Amino acid sequence: MQSTRTLGIFTGGCLLVLAGCTTTAPSETGYAALPPVTVAEVGVISPEIPLPKGYLELSQLPDSLALLPPPPAAGSAAKAADEAAWEAAKGASSERFALATSDADLNWPAIVSSFEPLVGTSLSDGTKPHTQMLLRRAMADAGLASYKAKNHYQRVRPFAEKGGGSCTPEEEEALRHDGSYPSGHTTAGWMMALVLAELVPSRADAVLQRGYDFGFSRVICRVHWMSDTVGGRVVAAATFARVQSNPVFQAQLAAARREMAAAGL
């Protein structure tokens, strides 16, 4: 059973993404002036994964297996760096560990809550429906794009390899069966940061730092290696570049910019 904290898309619910999940964008036939803003209009990825579909079809998603090198091999310098980062993360303060635990929650609006103070406005109170749907659909695309590499490599997660548990013990059984490389949580956090930096460039530095820290929380949680998070940011950036040419994304981005301007940003 999937944890309600992650809704399945990044922790095993889409392990067969290449065979079954879809992110088909709305048909351009009869496309209105403004994109849909409700999950009912957009549709969900699947009954088991009730997240709004992304903007891209599966065939349009970046190929994470082609984009990324294999995960670090045992005995390599890169693997030694992963081990060093894992060891250093054990010294995180209780406050940082608590933040990492909070960052594990991919539910909406929990996932956006730590970004809202940095942007300077609520992104989840219903006053900015296009901004909200823009973020949610873009994150769905980025998360799904990670699964070709995840499914291929099936890298073992740090808590499973090294012992010692994680910050979300209730999720550990599902995570043992979900590849560690690249990090799906990191793709979500980095995509969130990239979209918000595009919407509110005056806040970009702080937003991008939060996006980076969101991914690093997975190292502190002992559920990802550092190289998993690096790979996650690569996949998110590739997805962000790919979605720029989607007309529905373009229209929703323009509508979100108007919402931000109305909020004085």
Domain ranges of the chain: 39-52+75-262
For residue 32, pLDDT over 70 is answered with no
DSSP H or E stretch at residue 50: strand 49-52
For residue 30, pLDDT over 60 is answered with no
Mean pLDDT of the chain: 89
Catalytic site includes residue 63: no
pLDDT for 7 equals 38
DSSP H or E stretch at residue 150: helix 147-153
DSSP H or E stretch at residue 25: none
Catalytic residue, from 218, 222, 233, 242: name it: 218
Contact 97, 220 (CB under 8 A): yes
For residue 206, pLDDT over 90 is answered with yes
Catalytic site includes residue 218: yes
pLDDT digits (tens, 9 = 90+) for 45-96: 888 888 899 999 999 999 999 999 999 999 999 999 999 999 999 999 999 9
Which burial class, exposed, middle or buried, applies to 96 when counting CB atoms under 10 A from its CB (0-12, 13-18, 19+)?
Answer: middle
pLDDT for 48 equals 86
Give the Cα separation of 177 and 192 in Å (integer): 26
* pTM as predicted: 0.89
In this structure, what token pair is assigned to residue 262?
A: 């109305």
Give the Cα separation of 53 and 154 in Å (integer): 25
Distances (CA, A) of 177 to 60, 93, 98, 229: 26, 29, 25, 18
Contact 190, 211 (CB under 8 A): yes
Average pLDDT of the segment spanning 15-41: 59
For residue 4, pLDDT over 90 is answered with no
Give the Cα separation of 62 and 238 in Å (integer): 6
Pairing of strands 49-52, 44-46: antiparallel
pLDDT for 22 equals 42
Catalytic residue, from 185, 203, 210, 233: name it: 185
pLDDT for 130 equals 97
Contact 187, 241 (CB under 8 A): no
For residue 17, pLDDT over 60 is answered with no
Q: Which residues lie closer than 8 Å to 232 by C-beta, 6 or more apart?
A: 146, 182, 183, 184, 185, 186, 187, 190, 215
Give the Cα separation of 197 and 112 in Å (integer): 14
For residue 8, pLDDT over 60 is answered with no
pLDDT for 238 equals 98
Q: Which residues lie closer than 8 Å to 162 by C-beta, 6 or more apart?
A: 86, 222
Catalytic site includes residue 228: yes
Catalytic site includes residue 130: no
Is 1.20.144.10 the CATH classification of the domain at 39-52+75-262? Answer: yes
Q: Which residues lie closer than 8 Å to 136 by C-beta, 6 or more apart?
A: 51, 52, 108
